[in-house]
Amino acid sequence: MQEYTGYDRDLVSVQESRRLAVEAREAQRAFFHTSQEQVDRICAAMADAAYRNSERLGQMAHEETGYGVPAHKTLKNQLGSKGVWDSIKDTPTVGVLRRDEEKKIVEIGWPVGVVACLVPSTNPTSTVMYKVLIAVKARNAAIIAPHPSARKCCLETVRIMAEAGKKAGMPKGLVSCIENLSLEGTQELMRHYAVSLILATGGTPMVRAAHSVGKPAIGVGPGNVPVYIDRSADVPKAASDIVNSKAFDCSVICATEQSVVADAPIAEQLRAEMKKNGAYWLDPEQQQAVARCLFDPSGAINPRSVGKTPQALAELAGITVPSWARVLVAELKGVGKEYPLSREKLTTVLGFYVEKDWHAGCERCIELLKFGGDGHSLVIHARDEEVILAFGIEKPAFRIMVNTWGSMGAVGSTTGLMPSMTLAPGGIGGSIVSDNISVQHLLNIKRLAYETGAPPAEARSLAQGVTAQASGAQDAVLAPASRSKGPGYSADDIAQIVREVLKELKA
């Protein structure tokens, strides 16, 4: 592919976005007539091709972005392909979906149209797989707009899936990817008349841009995820889960634990167990160095720190940590700008708090969520069902994982949640929904609604009365003009008749 620089790249990117959007619309219109069996055959072929290439694409994503762990990216690719397909393959999306004989309603599937799919650098290949599958399953077209730092691995993922889909009968252009990336090109794609919906996964500025173009958009939000460990918890398991989850792909999944909130009676045991699993506690000076490494003075995250091992972070921060360290832990006394490590940290650093009981722990979790994680996710380790339910009812988070990993639990790997790489935070987090986004969010449903009862008698009589009055008024006004003989009505007579009729109608 020819490379472009400067102004030319912007023009080429804009033109490419326009071309892909028009081609996708034409392909989607042809695909509209595809049967459920054909749709499923195409999706199954794409899911299988993606799954078979999971390891290679995971390695590509790691090498291109510099984020995370290749083996962990392989697991995410397997979830984004086979895991997602298994979760939606039996969902009907074509023709009659359901019949409610009692209510006499027939539901019929209808595609949204062309979906612009914005993809982040943190989970690029797995997100491409997942978005293509949920879009095409609902007979939509999907255009991938990758983050520039994940361009090559996204292009290759789309190439593999589109090739498999076309061999199974998918129209050319139904699944595509922008090659000549630029901000202007992505903006043009989102604004283009042929695009029906934007599915945005990524950083806050990108999601806000998606919501600002005047089209339907489904976006995510930041995930400053607290994990509360109650005195009733299985502490050794909780410690293992927390460290393993935080270390998984170096914490680039937005639902990964960000701060530990420990119930005071088990805090010391939890520290000891976390250390056994590879947690290294930072001293105050190291904390400050790591905070400067992770964030600039405004609080914006340093991209160089994202998805890094503790050893790589230590090198960036100019400190030394043991080779056995899997995560870094900072003891914190508060939440907010004065405590930078209380923010969302897309890397292997955890905050740590101790609270006197679950009530205080509850308040600390709410404070953390409000400081950059409203509506997203929370983790609780406990065996006291009363405490678990209280957290479920009271916390402003729409995914509350119980006794499991935050990272893999939220995306549906270790829980019964819908497998998804787009975790919506609801209205309080800036999204239209609070679900793990899947095929049902890209599927419109129309309904045949048969009469189940006659209109109320009062409504019928009122309607008939209004009709009769209107008919009488018309006769009264037109009568003079239709007479063949006799005196006509004056203008004042006609005006009076009209006033009386209008008065009766208002009454």
Q: Comparing 207 with 163, which gets the higher pLDDT?
A: 163
The residue type found at 304 is R
Whether 237 and 207 map to the same domain: the answer is no
Please report the pLDDT score of residue 458 as a whole number. 76
pLDDT digit string, tens, across residues 131-181: 999 999 999 999 999 999 999 999 999 999 999 999 999 999 999 999 999
Domain membership of residue 453 (yes or no) is no
In this predicted structure, the answer to whether residue 506 has a pLDDT above a threshold of 70 is no
| Spatial CA neighbour of 346 closest among 293, 270, 279 | 293
Task: Give the model's pLDDT for residue 483.
Answer: 44
Same domain, 230 and 208: no
- Name the pLDDT band for 3 (thresholds 50, 70, 90): low
Q: Are residues 13 and 156 in the same domain?
A: yes
Say whether 499 sits in a helix, a strand or coil: helix
**Cα 190-192-193 angle, rounded to 5 deg:** 130
Helix 124-137 vs helix 54-65: crossing angle, to nearest 10: 130
Cα 261-263-265 angle, rounded to 5 deg: 145
Res. 305: pLDDT tops 70: yes
Tens of pLDDT along 49-90? Answer: 999 999 999 999 999 999 999 999 999 999 999 999 999 999
Rounded Cα–Cα distance for residues 67 and 69 (Å): 7
Considering the domain architecture, whether residues 13 and 152 belong to the same structural domain is answered as yes
Residue that wins the pLDDT comparison between 502 and 453: 453
In the predicted structure, residue 460 carries a pLDDT above the cut 90 = no
Q: How many domains does the chain have?
A: 3
**499 — pLDDT class (breaks 50, 70, 90):** confident
Residue 211's pLDDT band (cuts 50, 70, 90): confident
CATH of the domain at 353: 3.40.309.10
The string of DSSP codes covering 298-358 is TS-B-GGGTT--HHHHHHHHT----TT-SEEEEE-S--BTTBGGGS--SSSEEEEEEESSH
128 plus 231 within the same structural domain: no
Together in a domain, 258 and 189? no
Same domain flag for 196 and 276: no
The domain containing residue 140 runs over which residues? 8-220+439-448
Whether 117 is a known active-site residue: answer no
Whether 211 and 283 share a structural domain: no
Token digits for 119?
Answer: 């993809």
- Residue 199 structure tokens: 């599915």
For residue 418, which of 207, 221, 95, 134 has the smallest C-alpha distance?
134
Q: Which CATH number is 73's domain given? A: 3.40.605.10
Q: Are residues 213 and 68 in the same domain?
A: yes
- pLDDT tens per residue, range 263-299: 999 999 999 999 999 999 999 999 999 999 999 988 8
- Asked whether residue 432 is assigned to any structural domain, the reply reads no
CA distance 396 to 344: 16
Residue 288 parent element (H or E): helix 284-294
Q: Is the domain of 202 the same as that of 251?
A: no
Q: Which of 66, 176, 175, 77 is nearest to 121 (CA)?
A: 66
* Residues 319, 321: Cα–Cα separation, whole Å: 7
Determine the 3-state secondary structure of 159 from DSSP.
helix
Say what the pLDDT of residue 466 is. Answer: 63
pLDDT band per the 50, 70, 90 thresholds, residue 219? confident
Q: Are residues 358 and 475 in the same domain?
A: no
Does pLDDT of 333 surpass 50?
yes
pLDDT at residue number 481? 47
183 and 233 both lie in a single domain: no
Runs of H (alpha helix) within 371-507: 385-394, 406-410, 457-482, 491-506
> In 145-266, which residue ranges form alpha helices assigned H by DSSP?
151-167, 183-191, 204-211, 235-247
How far does the chain reach from its first CA to its final CA, in angstroms? 75
Phi and psi for 18 in degrees, rounded to 5?
-65, -45
pLDDT in tens, 395-411: 999 999 999 999 999 99
Rounded to whole angstroms, the Cα distance separating 211 from 241 reads 35
Q: Is the pLDDT of residue 467 over 70?
A: no
| Structural domain includes residue 108 | yes
Active-site position among 43, 254, 293, 362 = 254
